[in-house]
Structure 1
Amino acid sequence: MKRSLLPVAMLAVAGLMLGCGQGKAPLDTPSQGTITIAADESFKPLVTQITSAYEGIYPNVKFNLVFRPEQAAINMMLNDSARLAFTTRKLTKNEHRALDQRKIVGGAVKIATDGVALIVNKANTDSLITMDALRSIFSGKIKNWSQLKGNQAEPITLVFDNNNSSNLDFVLSTFGVKSMAGLRIFTTRSNREVIDYVRKNRSALGFIGVNWISDGDEPLTAELSADLRVMGVSAKSNPVGRADYFQPFQEDLGMQRYPLRRPVYVLSREAHPGLGGGLLNYLIRDAGSLIIYKVGLWPSVRYNREINLQK
């Protein structure tokens, strides 16, 4: 009796092992597995540093990073081509509906405050601008640098990273632009190409994600910032001095003084406690906040430093 049961038990175990091998792949966990993350290209330095740090903690983790214009990154997440998406906005009702149809509860976590930086060629001494002047540029009323009383006489060329980028969408939305017809706009393929274009063209006014030039510890930041000026922007119609203008750097983002600031969200479609959730928990804890702070953005959860004072 006992002898006849043993082969049957072994067969059952073998069947289970075979079933596991033929079934779905094991689910990822916060400490192991591979997932794809999509992000707007303006957040490339931020996302690269965050994921590299997490992979350094967990050797069995791998993030496949895909950088696309914001809407394309969101679509990847909705279509299950990416687990997470780094964006400047939450999902719309229609986008939520796409997840609801798959019985997936989509999440959106704000991790930081970012800014769109305005950059000009170092030869351009006009490094201050008001929101009213920018509105006039995007309405077509101001077309030439001379109208801003700078040292340039050429037409203003507005330079963005992509026709569908979050930088362009944000600026058009901020100034209520319905049509770009008649505007002198030039688009490249990346934020880095915007920087290169502005460096070579005195008449250019470039728009980039500030994390490309705000990490003071990165040699790349120094390289990219060379021969550029970051414009100060004032929300006041009639600023009286330099103190009324602010640049898109950490304190002015956090204190909400820089006018062209925007949130950074992580959108998730994770349906189990997996690697995406692990990265999100990391981002909203001290370690993740410290990386966001290092990159030059303002983290939604501040990094707490403990200081022991001794006599």
Structure 2
Amino acid sequence: MRLFTLINCLWLVSCFPSAKSSQSLNVTGSSTVAPLVAEIAKRFEERYPDYKINVQTGGSSRGISDAMKGTADIGMVSRALHQQEQALKHYTIASDGIGLIAHRDINIEDLSHNQVLAIFQGKVKNWLPITGQNQAITVVHKAQGRSTSELFIKHFKLKYQDVDAQIIIGDNEQGIKNVSSIPGAIGYVSIGAAEHAAKQGRAIRLVKLEGLQPSTKAVASGNYPILRPLNLVIKDQSNPDALKFIKFARSQEVFDIVRKLDFVPPKI
């Protein structure tokens, strides 16, 4: 009888595990925000071992769409929300800017507003009149629907189809990879991502815009024309697990991660 009872107890334990199961959160969206959220998620999982945070990119548009539809618990959006997106609740976890990057061998320190327009509209196709170097210009442009391209063309008062690009890329890493590997290339990416890549020795240089250096310091001071918040968004504010992660992602416990990736912590 005792043996039978023991076997039954073991069967119950194996078939009905503890009610304390792991909690999984799906986070999708901006490729700018994703590396930061991935690092924050690692620390969160160390602090709370019962949680698993799944981070996927796809652009801010995906982050908005997935959060709206409920196919993701949290969306990542590297811009302010539009009027039609106000059903979502946003939480800023860092600030960033958008900066011009050129191949390191291009002798360019500063570009005027009109020079940027001429380059990206294809009116100037060689660096010769700008730098004195006889080198063809390769324009690297972000895909339509990406918040980075949206903010870039808005700042320069362009339409997406106005840009005469030779290469269309998705995330920041693709932009940095193309610009660093193609002599004469120019593009624009997250300032934080560009500074981080430059520190790692990638063959890019951040180019001033109208004398203003794109830098984390400039973002922090607000002294740069193309700035943006890096947001986490949710539709369902009744999800305690999502709110727990967002609170952690906005806390001083992760400000060192934000700074390490060359972003600016939020003011809380």
Query: TM-score normalised by the shorter chain: which range applies?
Result: 0.7 to 0.9
Corresponding position: 1:297 with 2:263: yes
Separation (CA, whole Å) in 2 of partners of 1:45 and 1:251: 20
Do the aligned partners of 2:75 and 2:233 also contact (CA within 8 Å) in 1?
A: yes
Separation (CA, whole Å) in 2 of partners of 1:189 and 1:90: 19
With structure 2 as the length reference, what TM-score do the two structures score? 0.82
Do the aligned partners of 1:120 and 1:198 also contact (CA within 8 Å) in 2?
A: yes
Q: Could you tell me how far 1:198 is from its partner in structure 2?
A: 1.4
Do the aligned partners of 1:37 and 1:64 also contact (CA within 8 Å) in 2?
A: yes
With structure 1 as the length reference, what TM-score do the two structures score? 0.71
| Equivalent residue in structure 2 for 1:264, among 193, 205, 230 | 230
Deviations 1:85-127 (A, max 9, x none): 121334434334xx5xxxxxx3112222201232211211113
Do the aligned partners of 2:237 and 2:243 also contact (CA within 8 Å) in 1?
A: no
Partner of 2:213: 246
Do the aligned partners of 1:250 and 1:298 also contact (CA within 8 Å) in 2?
A: yes
Partner of 1:121: 103
Partner of 2:203: 227
Corresponding position: 1:204 with 2:194: no
Q: Could you tell me how far 1:72 is from its partner in structure 2?
A: 1.9
Separation (CA, whole Å) in 2 of partners of 1:85 and 1:27: 26
Separation (CA, whole Å) in 1 of partners of 2:255 and 2:227: 18
Which residues of 2 match residues 1-311 of structure 1 at below 5 A? 33-96=23-86, 99=87, 106-148=88-130, 150-181=131-162, 183-215=164-196, 222-223=199-200, 225-234=201-210, 244-247=211-214, 249-301=215-267
Partner of 1:238: none
Deviations 1:178-220 (A, max 9, x none): 24246134113432222221122112102222332434xxxx7
Letter in 2 for 1:226: R
Cα RMSD for the two superposed structures: 2.7
Gaps of 5+ in 1: 1-20, 100-105, 235-243, 303-311
* Change in 2 beyond 3 A, CA 1:84/1:221: farther
Do the aligned partners of 1:85 and 1:268 also contact (CA within 8 Å) in 2?
A: yes
Deviations 1:117-141 (A, max 9, x none): 3221121111322334223434554
* Change in 2 beyond 3 A, CA 1:166/1:54: same
Q: Could you tell me how far 1:59 is from its partner in structure 2?
A: 0.8
Letter in 2 for 1:64: N
Do the aligned partners of 1:71 and 1:164 also contact (CA within 8 Å) in 2?
A: yes
* Change in 2 beyond 3 A, CA 1:182/1:42: closer
Do the aligned partners of 1:158 and 1:205 also contact (CA within 8 Å) in 2?
A: yes
* Change in 2 beyond 3 A, CA 1:89/1:167: closer
Separation (CA, whole Å) in 2 of partners of 1:183 and 1:161: 12
Letter in 2 for 1:184: A
Larger Rg: 1
**What is the SS of the residue equivalent to 2:64?**
helix
Letter in 2 for 1:230: L
Gaps of 5+ in 2: 1-15
Deviations 1:226-277 (A, max 9, x none): 222121222xxxxxxxxx4312x22111111222222212211233251211
Aligned length: 251
Separation (CA, whole Å) in 1 of partners of 2:198 and 2:117: 29
Do the aligned partners of 2:141 and 2:165 also contact (CA within 8 Å) in 1?
A: no
